[in-house]
Structure 1
Amino acid sequence: MAGSLPQAAVFPLALPSVSTFAFPKAARLTKTDEFSSVFALRPRKRSPHFVLYVRANGRAEARLGVVVGKKFAPRAAERNLVKRMARELFRQRQDQLGGRDVLLRLQTKFPRAEFTSRAAVRHACLTEISSLLEVAARPLPPQPPPSPSASPEQPKGLPT
């Protein structure tokens, strides 16, 4: 074809790769055991709608888990909105959160009387999740030392 343009002329600039802004599997809590080990801890911080759990993970990268149940967000669009916002805010702060597992859980509904539009829900999510992730970036409290194992002494009350 003499009249066709070369490929470089049609697309002169390369578009940025989608993977640049992706949420890779290495940055996610995926297994039930991973979620359970973080849930076993005391909540680090609560906001009006969310609970934050944070734990050291012994890795270089941070990982995120988001729990949004149907009980508190009955519509799939609302659940997806909350998860998308949490992942994007986490992605922006991921370098500050290195070495931690961060778990966000929606704990109360967004009442329709207060949150009449998606923009209102989006704004509430933005402010609450941002403030919770700032708390997650703070230094973690020292972990208690493991309990001492049974001493080699003879237990009391047993004959010698």
Structure 2
Amino acid sequence: MTSGDRSQDFARARRIVKADEFSSAFRLRPAQKSAHFVLYTRPNQLPQARLGVVVAKRLAPRAVTRNTIKRVTREIFRLSELPPVDCVVRLSAPVNSKAGPATSAALKVLLRTELLRLFASQRVAERGPAS
């Protein structure tokens, strides 16, 4: 990776990895909900926003689907300019079954649309109402 690509990385400093960090975010009320996702946020004392993604096997039975959801979520998070907050995105509704295809273009478009809305609404909520 070249130094010009650093804005596209997902360094460990931008991840929520510890169980207690996930738990503290889950104790709060959800910030936003969509058809398939719940976004939990809490302010942090770090210079950047951090992300955690939870995708339960019972809601996305295939590993390919779970990995696609995580990949799309990380991509949208990287492109969103969020204030210093911890964001935990949790899949809350089934996205497909073992019988159907693991991923499809339609599924990726649906995921992107929902996640873009969640993170965009979070940016507006963090800034507060326009005065």
Q: TM-score range by the shorter chain?
A: 0.7 to 0.9
d(CA) in 1 for partners of 2:123 and 2:50?
Answer: 12
- Tell me if structure 2 keeps the 8 A contact 1:65–1:104: yes
d(CA) in 2 for partners of 1:52 and 1:85?
Answer: 15
- Give RMSD over aligned pairs: 2.2
4+ runs deviating over 3 angstroms:
15-19, 139-142
| Amino acid corresponding to residue 87 of structure 2 in structure 1 | V
| TM-score of the pair, normalised by structure 2 | 0.85
| Amino acid corresponding to residue 107 of structure 1 in structure 2 | S
Q: Which has the larger radius of gyration?
A: 1
| Amino acid corresponding to residue 119 of structure 2 in structure 1 | L
Higher relative contact order (CA 8 A, sep 6+): 2
3-state SS of 2:107 partner: helix
d(CA) in 2 for partners of 1:33 and 1:19?
Answer: 31
For 2:60, the equivalent position in structure 1 comes to 73
- The unaligned stretches of length 5 or more in structure 2 are none
3-state SS of 1:138 partner: helix
3-state SS of 2:95 partner: coil
Residue 99 in structure 1 maps to residue 84 in structure 2: yes
- Tell me if structure 2 keeps the 8 A contact 1:102–1:136: no
d(CA) in 2 for partners of 1:67 and 1:110?
Answer: 14
**Do the aligned partners of residues 60 and 17 (structure 1) sit closer, same or farther apart at CA in structure 2, a change above 3 Å counting?**
closer
From the two aligned structures, give the one with the greater helix fraction: 2
d(CA) in 2 for partners of 1:61 and 1:141?
Answer: 15
Percent pairwise identity: 41
